[in-house]
């Protein structure tokens, strides 16, 4: 097994098969509600930007095991996109093979390149995911948002899509997303970047989403690995036990999902041990405002 930066900074799992015991692992999952409907979902899901593998069983087997374990442990939100190579196809195939479609909340996105928009693009999403209903359909990076939302709204009215959303993943899109939140009443969700090392969204975007009653998914929760780099070789602070953190991943994720406006974080997840570790952040104590400030101060001292 390839050892990653994350493996080297205190991952509290004994093996790739999840044989270790995490603090609060046996505690029930916490839940957050989608504002527009009251539907409850665990606050940690799976991002699949690196699930675009081939069809060979050898390359799909680890992903199948990861998806199976995620569902078994109560995980629900699986986020993918047309732009993630074959990720939608892989997820559709594996979900069908495992028979777990009803256990999952499937979120995908429109064609980022704008080559297949509106009706044509939507037909592709259903076929690739092998599903009759998509839980969350999102306009990727706000591309063609006017046309996409208009067509998506038709499909939502017909019961083929449950929620509509729009996504960004960089700070230079914040102003555009804020305008979209203000303008498009059809939105139920937004997805954006936010982490201990990237807190700007808390200034305007997260409050704007909360004011509109929108659910919020958080991408890039580990700063593309930068947060693990910053704590490499360091032990968790002793006080992390007060919020039931057994790993740096849980420390980073609990900060995110404890924000009142955040519905769920969707860390990229390809391994079973990361499913166990990440879902540990959806269990046990939740940081309050004072603890969140303490986490911020600790992180800022590393810079």
Note the pLDDT of residue 81. 96
Whether the full predicted model's pTM is greater than 0.85, yes or no, is yes
Rounded CA separation 165/136 (Å): 7
Q: pLDDT, tens digit, for every residue of 99-140?
A: 999 999 999 999 877 555 567 778 889 999 999 999 999 999
For the chain, list the domains and their CATH numbers.
38-302 (3.20.20.100)
| 167-181 exposure pattern, b = at least 16 Cβ within 10 A, e = fewer | bbeeeebbeebbebb
The confidence score (pLDDT) of residue 9 equals 56
Q: Is the pLDDT of residue 273 over 50?
A: yes
Measured CA distances, 292 to 115, 190, 242, 256 (Å): 42, 23, 12, 9
Between CA 69 and CA 63 the distance in angstroms is 10
Query: CA 282 to CA 44: how far, in whole Å?
Result: 6
Under 8 Å between Cβ of 168 and 174: yes
Q: Can you tell me whether residue 192 is helix, strand or coil?
A: strand
* Over residues 30-58, mean pLDDT: 97
Reduced to 3 states (helix: H, G, I; strand: E, B; else coil), residue 125 is helix
């Amino acid at each position: 097994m390839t050892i990653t930066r994350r493996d080297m900074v205190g991952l509290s799992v004994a093996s790739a098969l999840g044989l270790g015991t995490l603090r609060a692992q046996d505690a029930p999952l916490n839940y957050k509600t989608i504002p527009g409907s009251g539907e409850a979902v665990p606050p940690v899901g799976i991002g699949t930007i690196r699930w675009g593998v081939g069809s060979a069983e050898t390359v799909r087997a680890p992903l199948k095991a990861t998806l199976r374990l995620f569902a078994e442990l109560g995980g629900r939100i699986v986020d993918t996109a047309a732009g993630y190579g074959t990720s939608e196809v892989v997820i559709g195939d594996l979900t069908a093979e495992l028979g777990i479609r009803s256990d999952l909340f499937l979120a995908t996105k429109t064609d980022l390149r704008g080559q297949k928009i509106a009706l044509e693009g939507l037909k592709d999403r259903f076929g690739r995911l092998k599903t009759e209903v998509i839980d969350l359909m999102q306009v990727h990076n706000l591309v063609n948002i006017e046309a996409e939302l208009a067509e998506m709204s038709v499909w939502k009215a017909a019961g083929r899509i449950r929620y509509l959303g729009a996504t960004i993943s960089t700070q230079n899109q914040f102003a555009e997303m804020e305008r979209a939140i203000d303008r498009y009443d059809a939105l139920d969700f937004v997805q954006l970047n936010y982490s201990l090392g990237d807190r700007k969204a808390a200034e305007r975007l997260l409050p704007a989403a909360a004011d509109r009653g929108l659910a919020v998914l958080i991408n890039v929760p580990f700063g593309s690995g930068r947060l693990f780099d910053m704590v490499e070789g360091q032990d968790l602070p002793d006080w992390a036990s007060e919020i039931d953190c057994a790993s740096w991943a849980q420390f980073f994720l609990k900060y995110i999902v404890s924000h009142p406006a955040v519905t769920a974080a969707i860390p990229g997840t390809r391994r079973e041990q990361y499913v166990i570790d990440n879902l540990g952040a959806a269990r046990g104590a939740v940081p309050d405002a004072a603890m969140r400030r303490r986490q911020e101060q600790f992180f800022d001292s590393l810079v």
